[in-house]
């Protein structure tokens, strides 16, 4: 099963120190983060732990090979 493409572009976001859960299924209404919509899909969110404030480009196409970071795969999707 393939994940749902939430958006074909990444989101660049400033994250404060803490723990975040990146949506891997594409069904979350709180993209790029998990809202529990993966239940029953066979997908699980990916944990992101941030030690100090930083900016990340997070994947929203859900097909990246470097989850949760964008690797440009969205450019190859139909």
Q: Is residue 41 part of a domain?
A: yes
Total domains, the chain: 1
Per-residue pLDDT tens for 26-36?
999 999 999 99
- Give domain status of residue 22, yes or no: yes
Q: In which band, very low, low, confident or very high, does the pLDDT at 1 lie, cut at 50, 70 and 90?
A: confident
For residue 2, being part of any structural domain is answered with no
What is the extent of the structural domain holding 15?
11-76
In a domain, 37, yes or no: yes
Question: Does residue 4 form part of some domain?
Answer: no
DSSP string across 12-72? EEEE-SEEEEE-SSS--TTTTB--STTTTTT---EEEEESS-EEEEE-SSS--SSTTB--S
> Is 5 within a domain?
no
The residue-averaged pLDDT of 57-68 equals 98
Please give the pLDDT value at position 52: 98
Q: How does pLDDT run across 15-57, given as a tens digit for each residue?
A: 999 999 999 999 999 999 999 999 999 999 999 999 999 999 9
């Amino acid at each position: 099963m393939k994940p749902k493409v939430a958006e074909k572009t990444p989101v660049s976001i400033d994250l404060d120190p803490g723990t975040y859960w990146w949506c891997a299924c594409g069904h979350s209404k709180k993209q790029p983060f998990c809202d529990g919509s993966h239940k029953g899909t066979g997908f699980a969110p990916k944990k992101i732990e941030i030690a100090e404030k930083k900016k990340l480009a997070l994947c929203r196409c859900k097909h990246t090979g470097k989850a949760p970071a964008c690797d440009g795969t969205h450019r190859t999707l139909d």
